[in-house]
Chains A and B, each alone.
Chain A
Amino acid sequence: MPSVSRLRLSYRRTEFTGPGLLNAYDEDITSSAGFDAEDGERRVIILNGTQPVKYCNNRITTAKYNIISFLPSFLFEQFRRYSNCFFLLIALLQQIPDVSPTGRYTTLVPLMFILSVSAIKEIIEDVKRHRADNEINHRPIERLENGTWSTVRWSELTVGDIIKVTINTFFPADLIILSSSEPQAMCFIETANLDGETNLKIRQGVTATAGLLETKDLTMLQGRIECELPNRHLYEFNGVLREYGKQSVPLGNDQVLQRGAMLRNTAWVFAVVVYSGQETKLMKNSTSAPLKRSTVDKLTNTQILMLFMILISLCITSGLCNLFWTREHSETDWYLGLSDFKSMSLGYNLLTFFILYNNLIPISLQVTLELVRFLQAIFINYDIEMYYEPSDTPAMARTSNLNEELGMVKYIFSDKTGTLTQNVMAFKKCSIAGHVYIPQRTPEESLLVQNILRRHETAEVIEEFLVLLSVCHTVIPERGDEGIIYHAASPDERALVEGAHFFGYVFDTRTPEYVEINALGQRRRYQVLNVLEFTSARKRMSLIVRTPEGKIKLFCKGADSVIYERLSAHDLQYRDRTLQHLEEFASEGLRTLCLAVADIQPDVYEEWRNTYHKAATALQYRERKLEDAADLIEINLRLLGATAIEDRLQDGVPETIAALLDAGIFIWVLTGDKQETAINIGYSCKLISHAMDIIILNEESLDATRDVILRHFGEFKSSTANDTNVALVIDGTTLKYALSCDLRGDFQELCLLCRVVICCRVSPMQKAEVVEMVTQSTKAVTLAIGDGANDVAMIQKANVGIGISGVEGLQAACASDYSIAQFRFLQRLLLVHGAWNYARISKLILYSFYKNVCLYVIELWFALYSGWSGQILFERWTIGLYNVLFTAMPPFAMGLFEKFCTAETMLKYPMLYKPSQNAKFFNVKVFWIWIFNALLHSVFLFWLPMAAYTSDTIWKDGKTNDYLMMGNMVYTYVIVTVCLKAGLITNSWTWLTHVAIWGSIVIWFVFVVIYSHCFPFVNLGSNFPGMDIMLLSTPVFYLGLVLVPITTLLIDVICKLIHNTVFKTLTEAVRETEIRRNDLAEVMNEPRSSFTETARLLRNVFTRRANTRVETELELSHGYAFSQEEGGVVPQSIIIRSYDTNLPKPEGN
């Protein structure tokens, strides 16, 4: 065993760097033959005994807080935000006596309110996390306790526990396999969740424990396991099993079952927990999600900074003016009593004005945003169109602060397996002897079976084809209650065997010597003579069998390129027809394999067998010699036909991709899978079309990579610009060179010129690197979508990370910002929710700034008349409640219910996504236009009432009024104007919008009435009594109420009108059409222009790009793909030889 395991380790080292494994890459791997680390640097686990030290339990927590840590860490989080610090500072400054123009608590109270709202939100979110943790921690698992199995929770497991894991369940911790239901303690595990590979992997327990098939055996096990301390290296493990009184056995990665992987095709395994909970490799690799901030947020922050600068300069100006004014007036204006005041000091004045103008930066923006996003996220969760019935999974927003980022996506990076595809292979078609057959509902209906039964002229070929399918493979059958279940490491092989099964060629028995099939009721036994394994270099697998008739035959299946060159020169019959069919299959995105057979004369076989045996026992270059030997026998093949397997796409993938491309989004596929498979999928999901040029970069060295990149780059420059209907395919090795420093720039530009980029055989880290490269170089918003643990790095790197949830794996979903059950929901998430939320958040932010500037700049205008003293025109609490009461609701209505088009229209017209994608609604220009707008409004709102008021007498009974009366008039007009402005920019008024807009105005009036009766019962608003009667009894107030808002908003209405008439955007045009007539069909049914595609085809005919490899090109057009674990722990021939399905499997009790 050691030799195999070392081989595997070395393979791993060269091929992969797992998530977070960058460091591990160059590190030495200690010899796996023994474990001889110093004491203290190892972990000792006593089997069936008490552990020497207490190890951590298997509980995991991803929650942010617990009861004790909540308050400190929450406050820490909150005051890391500049705005909260700013308002805390303001609140503190207000405590200095005689400085604040607005009293002591007018900032503190709203701040406390806002903080408690945030706290409630945090608590709700964290409770959810605790629940999710609990769900995982409470999963049941069987543990051996005093000789019996008892069911415990995952969280109760600890190091040293012996547990039993059953089929199709996740491993609860990092385990060492002892024995399994399969021969020689083999078991299959699915690691798609960890590394994205589709094929199953085989793990095998050491022989010393493989015989422990019953509970009583397990209890007899005495000894200890020594291993490394927990680390984050996913593909490394060094340990040793020391059974008392026996020789110690080395343990390597092949015995490790990692948390996050799943047991497949194996009824059960017995295993020992070695690392638990937070110490598992998976958890060690999970980095806490980086705090992502949306582009809109960042822009807002810089604008806040700008406003802060303006605020400071306003303070300084006002402070200086105050200084001069006071110098002028303090001696003469005896009534003020200024002479012996510290108001001469500039410092205090600056503070006063700082407090006076502080709300130019809206205090409520942060919390409004947070709440609105939280609710928007709930709307995303509620969306029934994104609910996936079969797995009972709704969409889920895990972070809410990226909602609007969804509307700005420019690049999508998608994983393949599990995201675009279902990871389910289905036998779709086959071509036998030049005829295409498609499986029908029942075997009897299909032409193929009828042809056999009617003894069609090609019946013999058909039979041979089906025999090949049912014999030449590594699949293991298991007779279950509901027929035969096939276990296979390769999903392709399983599909093929199932295909044969469907046509009545049932493979049901495998023993080390022979396989038995039931061919349409007739039992046939094929003796397995030799297995010539599949490797990605050979691209084929062969089996030499002795048929029931005693003939020796070689069955071979593989890529068309390798099969065709080995066909016998006389066999020309079906060549061209089959090739044609292959092209057809490939154009549908199916994965193809060619099948061929050769009859071998016994004497030839005997001779070859010796050669082969020599090669198999060679001490040097064994693999190469084996390959050469295989080449000797795999000749003179007779073509039987080809198979087409569908790597089934998730529902609606092609449509979704088409829509996203229409929306101007670039889609890149990053996959750990093979190049052929990736290109196949590219075709089947319509990401690449045959009208596209494909550039394939497959280079082995830096220089070659440089040459090819520069060459293509040059071609691009010389060819007509703008026309970039080109797909780039690059593999992991080349990518490594392409991302190296000196090539990076050119590679970047080349990629960005291409319409589609496909990266295959890339490691998780490389995925993240690619995403990072694009994010940094284009400054565009990137989105990564994936389903497995191998996508976590890229999901965290991208601006927005999407996880596919509902399938068993949770890794990606947990690390993601949004999780959806199906790729197709991405369309709705981006085009509907993204675009809506972007527009909503943009409006909300702009409006929040607008309303604050609009009100608070009035203080500046008033300062012109009040001797720069910092006196506020309004009552302190009315102004304090401005943001939390009187104008709090319209932003919410805007942020939640605003939409410019219905969801259906948004989906039908993907280009409606473009304005949000290009940040048309919120950018520096728009922001300052709004600020200017607010300034203009404040001018109108201050001077119009002031002019109406100069006589001081606005009642019939001749009474005179005071500053607060004017303040309240202005304030009323501000609220009305600001609310109407909200209405003006609202496209869609639901009843809640009406409530928010009219309700805010009503609340103000109610407040005036109530507040006017507070004093002297409550020591608030001492100047307010009687304000209600006085305000509401003057006609001037009502006349102003009509005049001022209308005049103020007149400019806005006119601008909007001119814009709508003269510079109408597409969005508005669509919106109007939608409103005018509910039926959009007429507008929709314009014939689709196919001009570009034709032109592209024509161009391709004339100028075909010289491609790097003819061979790959050929395979591309023929769609060859096959997935099989290579260099795994157990060679394919050994799997075939080790099973005997006639023997009962151990029960594991």
Chain B
Amino acid sequence: MSMRQGEGEANVAPKSKRPSDSAFKQQRLPAWQPVLTARTVLPTFFVIGVLFIPIGVVLLHLSNTANELVIDYTRCKSSDPGNAGITCADYLQANTGKQCNCNINFNLTSDFRGDVYMYYGLTNYYQNHRRYVKSRDDMQLLGQLSQTPSTDCAPFAYNPENQLPIAPCGAIANSLFNDTLKLTQGGVNINLLNTGIAWPSDKRVKFHNPEGSLSQALKGFSKPIFWQQGLDELDPQNPENNGFQNEDLIVWMRTAALPSFRKLYRRLDQTNNNYAKGLMAGEYTLNVEYRYPVVSFDGTKRMILSTTSVLGGKNPFLGIAYIVVGAICITLGLGLLLIHMRCSRSSNMEMINVNPHTQYS
């Protein structure tokens, strides 16, 4: 025992405080030292320019392949026999909660080939307002109904008339877009699909109906105040698309970033042979069941028919941006080349004259 102690002491003998000589500790790690000089950067500028301009052209072309037709039907004339001559907007202002029908004929000047999508677009509509965005109950939407909805839902949490909790609660669900848009060609209804329009992940993860019968589960809950039909009546034909799992509701619940936005409404059913290739040029009619009031806040409602490219809808911005940036790069490259050729001589001189006693400038 004592021997071991002796050894121990011998080993502990004065430990040098000398720092170890590693590249890391001595701050001598090998390093890449890029120098931004005209010589190294100018080629990059030209390369960017040369790459960007063609990309921009391609993007612009792609954007142009997408067809788009926009119809603003905010102030469409009512086609109901009772109130001919007045606009649906005016009618709705006088009769809150009622429905007005209007038909708009339009001419498709070019063929909309490929998948055709129908959107509704709203403007001056602040879906991105802080109170609006948070006014939802995610647990409820998951199908976990509770008698006390999240406080975020106020003032759309309880029905003021009977004090029942609302399902789905909150401002977003309450203001669900409820116009019905239909397309006809020559009096024949064009079949539009109301599924496959929401993010698959939303449908899979975020929105679920409670277990068992939907209408049973919704007993003791009130429908949103603004709604004209119950949650279980959104798409009675298709139980997979009903209740919380209704795709129109799901799409609406993804609140838009800007006050002017569009949302996917329907897809063209291309199983029908007449429309297998899309919508061909010709006369069509848009039938609107007009229920959604927007004129009070100077909003507009639009129906948009669109095909898509790889980039989605029609938007020339990216293409233009690429071309502009590419052009700027090339212009700047040329300008800098000029400056470089003028100044490089003097800067080289300076470099050679550096010695430990050069005055710092």
Q: Which residues in window 10-33 of B have CB below 8 A to A?
A: 14, 16-21, 25-27, 29-33
Contact size range, A: 35 or more
Q: When the two chains form the complex, which single residue of A387, A984, A1035, A1062 contacts B343, counting CB atoms closer than 8 Å?
A: A1062
Q: In this assembly, does B240 line the interface, its C-beta being within 8 Å of a C-beta of chain A? A: no
What's the nearest-Cβ distance from chain A to residue B40, in Å?
Answer: 9
Asked if B340 and A1036 sit within 8 Å, CB to CB, the answer is no
Are B48 and A1046 closer than 8 Å at their CB atoms?
yes
Task: Let me know if A1057 and B255 touch, CB within 8 A.
Answer: no
Q: Using CB atoms, name the residue of chain A closest to B59.
A: A1039
Q: What is the bound-complex CA distance between A309 and B259, given in angstroms? A: 31
B264 and A1062 form a contact (CB under 8 A): no
| A290 CB within 8 Å of chain B | no
Residue A1032 CB within 8 A of the other chain: no
Whether the Cβ atoms of A1057 and B37 lie closer than 8 Å is: yes
Residues of B within 8 A of A570 (CB): none
Task: Name B259's closest neighbour in chain A (CB-CB).
Answer: A865
A379-435 residues with Cβ-Cβ distance < 8 A to B are 379, 381-385, 387, 389, 392-394
Contact with A962, one of B38, B257, B267 (Cβ below 8 angstroms):
B257
Q: Is there contact, CB below 8 Å, between A1069 and B357?
A: no
Contacts of A1034 in B (CB 8 A): 312
Q: Shortest beta-carbon distance, A934 to chain B, in Å?
A: 20
Closest beta carbon of chain B to A704's beta carbon, Å: 40
Decide: B340 and A1061 in contact? CB cutoff 8 A.
Answer: yes
Can you list, as one digit per residue, whether each of B152-178 has a CB less than 8 Å from chain A (1) or not (0)?
000110000000000000010011000
CB < 8 Å neighbour of B251 from A870, A960, A1089: A960
When distances are taken between beta carbons in the complex, the residues of chain A under 8 Å from B175 are: 334-335
A1060 to B35, CA, bound (A): 9
Stretch at the interface among B79-87, B213-221, B227-235, B324-332: B324-332
B277 within 8 A of A: no
Beyond A871-B130, A952-B262, A1050-B329, whether A1066 also contacts B360 by CB under 8 A is yes
- Does any Cβ of A come within 8 Å of B187's Cβ? no
- Find out whether the CB atom of A903 lies under 8 angstroms from the CB atom of B201: no
* CB <8 Å contact, A336 and B317: no
CB distance from B348 to the nearest CB of A (A): 10
Please tell me if the beta carbons of A948 and B315 are within 8 angstroms of each other in the complex.
yes
CB distance from B259 to the nearest CB of A (A): 6
CB nearest neighbor in A for B114: A956
The CA-CA distance from A1036 to B332 in the complex, in Å, is 26
Contacts of A333 in B (CB 8 A): 126, 296-297
**In the bound complex, what is the Cα–Cα distance between A1022 and B55 (angstroms)?**
37
| A442 at interface, CB cutoff 8 A | no
Which stretch in B1-9, B283-291, B303-311 binds the other chain? Answer: B303-311
State in angstroms the CA–CA spacing of A865 and B133 once bound together. 14
Q: Which residues of A contact B315 (CB under 8 A)?
A: 948-951
Task: Give the interface centre of B48, B260, B328, B343 by most chain A CB atoms within 10 Å.
Answer: B343
Whether A389 touches B130, Cβ cut-off 8 Å, given contacts A911-B356, A1069-B354, is no
Whether B206 lies near A1022 (C-beta < 8 A) is yes
| Contact A389 to B18, CB < 8 A, known contacts A867-B126, A960-B254 | yes
**Does B189 make an interface contact (CB < 8 A)?**
no
Residue of B nearest to A992 (CB): B29
Please tell me which one of the listed residues B201, B257, B329 contacts residue A1030 in the complex, with CB atoms under 8 A apart: B201
Asked whether any CB of chain B lies closer than 8 Å to the CB of A928, the reply is no
- With a cutoff of 8 Å between Cβ atoms, the chain A residues found around residue B311 in the complex are 954, 1035-1036, 1039
The distance in angstroms between the C-alpha atoms of A387 and B16, with both chains bound, is 11
- Given A392-B18, A1056-B36, A1073-B351, verify A1026-B128 contact (CB < 8 Å): no
Q: Which of B198-240 contact A (CB under 8 A)?
A: 198-202, 205-206, 226
Q: Give a binary string over B331-361; 1 marks a CB under 8 Å from any A CB, 0 the rest.
A: 0100010011001100100111111111111
The answer to the question of B76 belonging to the interface, with a C-beta cut-off of 8 Å to chain A, is no
Shortest Cβ distance from B30 into A: residue: A990
Asked whether A1025 and B202 contact (CB < 8 A) given A337-B174, A961-B254, the answer is yes
Judged by a CB distance under 8 angstroms, whether B73 is at the interface is: no
Q: With both chains docked as a complex, state the minimum distance between the C-beta of A93 and any C-beta of chain B, in angstroms.
A: 16
Q: Which residues of A contact B186 (CB under 8 A)?
A: none
How many Å lie between the Cα of A391 and that of B61 in the bound state?
Answer: 76
Taking the nearest CB of chain B, how far is it from the CB of A1084, in angstroms?
6
The answer to whether A1061 and B356 have CB atoms under 8 Å apart is no
Q: Report whether B17 and A1057 are in contact in the complex, using a CB–CB cutoff of 8 Å.
A: no
CB under 8 Å from chain B, chain A span 346-389: 352, 379, 381-385, 387, 389
Does A935 interact with chain B (Cβ within 8 Å)? no
Quick check: A1053 and B36 within 8 Å, CB to CB? yes
In the bound complex, CA of A950 to CA of B304 (Å): 14
Contact in complex: B257, A949 (CB < 8 Å):
yes
A168 within 8 A of B: no
> CA–CA, A1084 to B353, complex, Å?
9
Interface class of chain B by DSSP: loop
> In the complex, what residue of chain B is closest to A993 when comparing beta carbons?
B31
A1028 to chain B, nearest CB (A): 9
Instruction: Return chain B residues, CB-CB under 8 Å to A1072.
Output: 35, 37, 351
- A957 interface residue per 8 A CB criterion: yes
Min Cβ gap A1015→B in Å is 7
Cβ-defined contact, A1015 with B206, below 8 A: yes
A914-B360, A958-B312 in contact; A1061/B205 too (CB < 8 A)? Answer: no
Closest B residue to A1040 by CB, please name it: B318
Which chain B positions have C-beta within 8 A of A540? none
Q: Does A866 contact B (CB under 8 A)?
A: yes
Quick one: given A337-B156, A909-B356, A953-B262, are A382 and B25 in contact (CB under 8 Å)?
Answer: yes
Per the bound structure, the CA–CA distance linking A1060 and B344 in Å amounts to 10
Of all chain B residues, the one with the shortest Cβ separation from A870 is B130
B200 and A899: CB pair below 8 A? no
Q: Note all chain B residues with C-beta closer than 8 A to A383.
A: 19, 26-27
Cross-chain contact A340 with B155 (CB below 8 angstroms): yes
Which residues in window 256-297 of B have CB below 8 A to A? 256-264, 267, 293, 296-297
Report B-chain residues with C-beta under 8 Å of the C-beta of A866.
126, 128-130, 259
Q: With both chains docked as a complex, state the minimum distance between the C-beta of A436 and any C-beta of chain B, in angstroms.
A: 35
Whether, in the assembled complex, A343 has its beta carbon less than 8 Å from a beta carbon of chain B, the answer is yes
Do A1061 and B359 touch across chains, with their CB atoms under 8 A apart? no
**B41 A955 Cβ-Cβ under 8 A:** no
Given known pairs A960-B254, A1026-B202, A1062-B339, the reply for A384 and B356 (CB within 8 Å) is no
Q: Report yes or no: B31 in contact with A1022, Cβ–Cβ below 8 A.
A: no
A963 pairs with B199, CB closer than 8 A: no
A1086→B205 contact, CB < 8 A:
no
Q: Is B142 close to A, CB under 8 A?
A: yes
Whether the Cβ atoms of B312 and A336 lie closer than 8 Å is no
Chain A residues in 8 Å Cβ range of B310:
956, 1035
Within 8 A of B (CB), among A1053-1090: 1053-1054, 1056-1058, 1060-1062, 1064-1066, 1069-1073, 1075, 1083-1086, 1088-1089
Given the complex, which residues of A lie within 8 Å of B16, measured CB to CB? Answer: 392
Inter-subunit contact B355/A1084 (CB<8 Å): yes
Q: Check B32–A950 contact: CB distance below 8 A.
A: no
Chain B: which residue is nearest A1013 at the CB level? B205
Find chain A residues with CB under 8 A from B182 CB: none
Does B313 lie within 8 Å of A952, measured CB to CB?
A: yes
Taking a contact as CB atoms under 8 Å apart, the answer to whether A1065 and B361 are in contact is yes
Which of A958, A1016, A1040 lies in contact with B115, CB distance below 8 A?
A958
Find out whether the CB atom of A1064 lies under 8 angstroms from the CB atom of B350. Answer: yes
Asked if B98 lies at the interface with its beta carbon under 8 angstroms from chain A, I say no
Which residue of the partner chain B has the closest CB to A322? B130
B59 nearest CB across to chain A (Å): 7
A948-B321 contact, Cβ under 8 Å, with A336-B171, A1066-B354, A1083-B352: yes
Whether A1047 is near chain B, meaning CB under 8 Å from some CB there, is yes
Contact B201 A963 (CB under 8 A): no
Q: Which of A336, A912, A1047, A1086 contacts B321 (CB 8 A)?
A: A1047
Could you give 24 example pairs across A and B, Cβ below 8 Å?
A333-B126, A335-B125, A338-B131, A341-B155, A382-B20, A394-B19, A866-B259, A869-B126, A897-B27, A949-B315, A951-B314, A952-B261, A953-B117, A957-B115, A958-B115, A960-B119, A961-B257, A962-B257, A989-B33, A989-B34, A990-B31, A1034-B312, A1043-B322, A1062-B343
The 4 closest A-B pairs by CB, nearest first: A1026-B201, A335-B175, A953-B313, A962-B254
